[in-house]
Amino acid sequence: MKNLKKRLQQGETLHGCWLNLGSALTAEIVGLSGFDWVLIDLEHGAGTEKDVLAQLQALESTSTAAFVRVESADSPRISRVLDMGAAGVMCPKVNDAAEAKKVINGLHYPPFGSRGVAKMVRATAFGENFQKYYDSSKENLWGIVQIETAEALNHLDEIAAVEGVDVLFIGPADLSMELGIFGQFDHPIFIDALEKINQAARKAGKATGILFFNPDDYKKYHDMGIRFIACGADATFVADGAKNMVKKLEAFKATYK
């Protein structure tokens, strides 16, 4: 699983981004660019489960680990993307320990969880490596739960303490919306929430993650102790590149008037 867990546990900051276009080509481009990890987004992204397989195949030859954000903690949603070869899952709006345990339960085979067993799937090289995959799955598969509701802030210690949860991932947009300060990421209420999430994660020996779109925010979040950092998405990379090119071309065009 590209050794990411050990690197994170040793205190290294890991860089990732979102994949929300549902495109195998943009997944491959982003993977080849050198990100440590990417998040294929099934909650808000344009793709479906059918598109996940092609994206995972495109990322296979890169050094980038691929996680999938599932729509919910329902076991079939989790097991399908894991069987395709995802390195782990992110689940949105996890409110308490019971919901976190549901995510982890779907992530792992018995006796640690209740994930259904299927040997002839891509994750196990279609049966060739099932035993190796099974033996290492508890150590290698990632459980990432999103903290993005006011209710979750009341249960941070319990969520962080759930065995199998690796990252408490902050959803800035949803969390700030819930707190009545949408988009105000420097607001004292938002900063206080982040500090509480960090404190709970550190106490449990877990990592904290966040997504942002302005690279200039890196220092702020890194200084808070956040080590699982995502910045940008394939859609924004394409949009920004297109806008920048039009701007440059229009600037050149203006010199000929």
Residue with tokens 């000929």: 256
What digits encode the pLDDT tens for the residues 115-128?
Answer: 999 999 999 999 99
Yes or no: say if 43 and 65 are a contact pair by the CB < 8 Å rule. no
Confidence of residue 257 (pLDDT cuts 50, 70, 90): confident
What digits encode the pLDDT tens for the residues 186-212?
Answer: 999 999 999 999 999 999 999 999 999
**Tell me, which fold does domain 4-254 have in CATH?**
TIM Barrel (3.20.20)
CA distance 38 to 59: 9
Q: What is the pTM of this model?
A: 0.95
DSSP H helical ranges for the chain = 4-9, 24-33, 49-59, 75-84, 97-107, 130-140, 150-153, 156-161, 172-178, 188-203, 218-223, 234-254
Yes or no: say if 72 and 64 are a contact pair by the CB < 8 Å rule. no
DSSP letter for 257, please.
Answer: -
From the list 227, 215, 221, 210, the residue with the least C-alpha distance to 174 is 210
From the list 165, 4, 114, 76, the residue with the least C-alpha distance to 157 is 165
The answer on pLDDT for 1 being more than 70 is no
Which residues are designated catalytic? 44
pLDDT, the chain, mean: 96
What digits encode the pLDDT tens for the residues 41-81?
Answer: 999 999 999 999 999 999 999 999 999 999 999 999 999 99
Yes or no: say if 70 and 88 are a contact pair by the CB < 8 Å rule. no
CA distance 14 to 30: 15
Confidence of residue 2 (pLDDT cuts 50, 70, 90): low
